[in-house]
Amino acid sequence: MDNDDILQMRGITKRFPGVIALQDVNLSVRRGEIHAICGENGAGKSTLMKVLSGVYPHGTYEGDIVLDGGPVEFRGIRDSEAQGVVIIHQELALSPYLSIAENIFLGNEQRSGRGVIDWNLTNSRAADLLGQVGLAERPDTKVIDIGVGKQQLVEIAKALSKEVKLLILDEPTAALNDEDSAHLLGLIRGLRDRGITSIIISHKLNEIESIADRTTIIRDGRTIETLDMRGEEPVSEERIIRGMVGRPLDHRFPEHTPSIGEEVLRVEDWTVHHPIDQSRTVVAGASISVRRGEIVGLAGLMGAGRTELAMSIFGRSYGSKISGRVYKDGKQVQLNTVDQAIRHGIAYATEDRKHYGLNLIDTIQHNISASALGKLARRGVVDRRQEGTVAEKYRKDLNIKAPTVQSLVGKLSGGNQQKVVLAKWIYADPDVLILDEPTRGIDVGAKYEIYTIINQLAEQGKGVIVISSELPELLGVCDRIYALSQGRVTGEVTKAEATQERLMQYMTMEKDGSAR
């Protein structure tokens, strides 16, 4: 064994009933490096990390784990943490109504003896840790009051409090904007300099390219290769993608020749206030429009008001004190409920499909028909045969990978879940489709399929609005892009004029018109 390795996982095989999730996987991580793990969704990355951190205890998998030169058999997450292995999950595990300090020491409370918590010690140690991760918040602030980016930093502070040697981050920047991502990645580099080894799982290849020392690629539950990112030849994104999908990816975006028609939706002077804090303006006087056959992008950093704009248009499902005008096919319309919006031919596919998009404990069939059940019913009685036929059609058309349309949506991968969301709204046959982060958290191959579907929708003469945090995606897919900053539309560019730099300039524009 290489003495330089802090971790070796050898011949790891993990079976679930009916599935082999990991097969003979090998992973070695050098002391003090940042090691990225790449792979499509469902490739087995998260499963491997759960084996490593003891979520799947010793005995439920085959193979050996060697940490710091000695074999380890974790029976649970407390075991692995005691040895300095800490995992930060994709879905953050913070308790929203507890303070930052309480969260950091949750399960590891700072006691003054006999189970009594020493609050002064707790808060002062928390303040120290917050300093280390560069988070300028008071330790007694409640976690619910800070943004996702800062919550991620709290997770890292929590890991540091446990004397972490090996930090595992599962998609740490998935929910973060570029600024917060950059800060987080800088922090991980800083930890490396202090001798903390990190394993990072990410779908964002540009991030991996910039931060990882080495990258291991997993495909279909097997290790494919480990790339040295700091070698003679730089490893390109294309190189990583080739390993992930098993073949080169010539084009990340399908060809699209727009044929643009009449204006189908126009929103004028749209202003929305925060649902609870009604004095806070979330969207301020925004005006946008989309034409038939056109794909329009909404770019913006987190908090720019993109989702809020979309949801407030979609039957006022977000916000308070909403004002402005909506024109559908040139006629002014009132969209006061989701039902009205749907009947006026507007659809909104959410960015958070698990919480707002799908009924995970129900079947593919029932999810697909959910928003247009009226089309399948006569006098309130659902025609289940027709419903099954429709669902089956979309399963084939959109290539939803599931044995039958009776499969539960909760068991599908992210990409296939997203296709179910799309199927639901395509079946509702809207004129305008608003797609909020349609490719978030799904793998490269499935992304391509989603883009193809978006193009097809536009070709059918629908107006499509795409909200995305990934600028290359907007540039690759959209015919026209609006940039939002602090609730206002700060710029509008056509595909020909658009560059990442130009969009970023608009996206960071302050209220007085200057760049941030």
Partner 1 sequence: MSVDMNTAPTMPSGERARVSLAQRLSGLGGNARQYGIFAALVMIILLFQVLTDGKLLLSNNVAALFQQNAYVMILAIGMVMVIVAGHIDLSVGSVVAFVGGVVALSIRDFDVPWVAAIVIGLAVGALVGAWQGFWVAYVGIPAFIVTLAGMLIFRGLTLVLVGETIAGLPSQYIRIAKGSLPNVLGFVNNADVVTLVIGTAAFAALAFTQIRARRSLRKHNLHMEAFGLFLTKLVLAAIGIGAVTIILSLSAGGTPIVLVIVGVLVVAYSFLMGRTVFGRHIYAIGGNRPAAALSGVNTKRVDFWIFVNIGVLAAVAGVVQTARSGAAIASAGQNYELDAIAACFIGGAAVTGGIGRISGAIVGALIMGVLNMGLSIMAVDPAWQQAIKGLVLLLAVAFDLVNKRRAGTR
Q: Is 429 in the site for partner 1 (CB under 8 A)?
A: no
Structure tokens at 7: 């971790």
Q: Is 26 in the site for partner 1 (CB under 8 A)?
A: no
CB neighbours (10 Å) of residue 207? 18
Strands 463-467 and 281-291: unpaired
For partner 1, give the closer residue by CB, 131 or 246: 246
With contacts defined by CB under 8 A, name the span among 131-139, 160-168, 354-362, 467-475 that binds partner 1.
354-362
Instruction: Give residues 306-335 in contact with partner 1 (rule: CB under 8 A).
Output: 314-315, 317
Which residue is associated with the tokens 């560019």? 493
Instruction: Report the C-alpha gap between 127 and 149 in whole angstroms.
Output: 18
Using CA of residue 452, residue 443, residue 363, residue 430, what is the dihedral sign?
negative
Q: Residue 374 class from Cβ within 10 Å (0-12 exposed, 13-18 middle, 19+ buried)?
A: middle
Do residues 371 and 347 lie in contact, with contact meaning Cβ atoms separated by under 8 Å? yes
Q: Is 492 in the site for partner 1 (CB under 8 A)?
A: no
Among 177, 197, 307, 371, binds partner 1 (CB under 8 A): 371
Instruction: Report the C-alpha gap between 360 and 365 in whole angstroms.
Output: 12
With contacts defined by CB under 8 A, name the span among 165-173, 198-206, 395-403, 494-502 that binds partner 1.
395-403
Please report how close the Cβ of residue 362 comes to partner 1 at its closest, in angstroms: 5
Among 51, 67, 153, 446, binds partner 1 (CB under 8 A): 446
3-state DSSP of 455-483:
HHHHHCCCEEEEECCCHHHHHHHCCEEEE
One DSSP character per residue, 246-295 reads: SS--S-SS--------SEEEEEEEEEEE-SSSTTSEEEEEEEEEEETT-E
Q: Is 47 in the site for partner 1 (CB under 8 A)?
A: yes
With contacts defined by CB under 8 A, name the span among 443-451, 466-474, 478-486, 495-503 that binds partner 1.
443-451
Instruction: Give residues 144-203 in contact with partner 1 (rule: CB under 8 A).
Output: none
Q: What is the dihedral of CA 406, 408, 409, 414, to 10 degrees?
A: -110
Using CA of residue 463, residue 469, residue 475, residue 480, what is the dihedral sign?
positive
Q: Is 112 in the site for partner 1 (CB under 8 A)?
A: no
Among 382, 456, 461, 505, binds partner 1 (CB under 8 A): 382
Q: Is 445 in the site for partner 1 (CB under 8 A)?
A: yes
Lay out the site mask for partner 1 across 248-267 (x = CB under 8 A, - = otherwise).
--xx--x-------------
Do residues 3 and 407 lie in contact, with contact meaning Cβ atoms separated by under 8 Å? no
Among 189, 230, 321, 396, binds partner 1 (CB under 8 A): 396
For partner 1, give the closer residue by CB, 42 or 297: 42
Q: Is 389 in the site for partner 1 (CB under 8 A)?
A: yes
Among 115, 231, 380, 513, binds partner 1 (CB under 8 A): 380
Q: Is 276 in the site for partner 1 (CB under 8 A)?
A: no
Instruction: Report the C-alpha gap between 302 and 197 in whole angstroms.
Output: 29
- Residues of this chain that interact with partner 1 (CB under 8 A) are 16-18, 21, 40, 47, 219-220, 245-246, 250-251, 254, 314-315, 317, 337-339, 341-342, 348, 350, 355-363, 366, 369-371, 373-374, 377, 380-382, 384-385, 388-389, 392, 396, 399, 401, 403-408, 410-411, 424, 444-446, 448-449
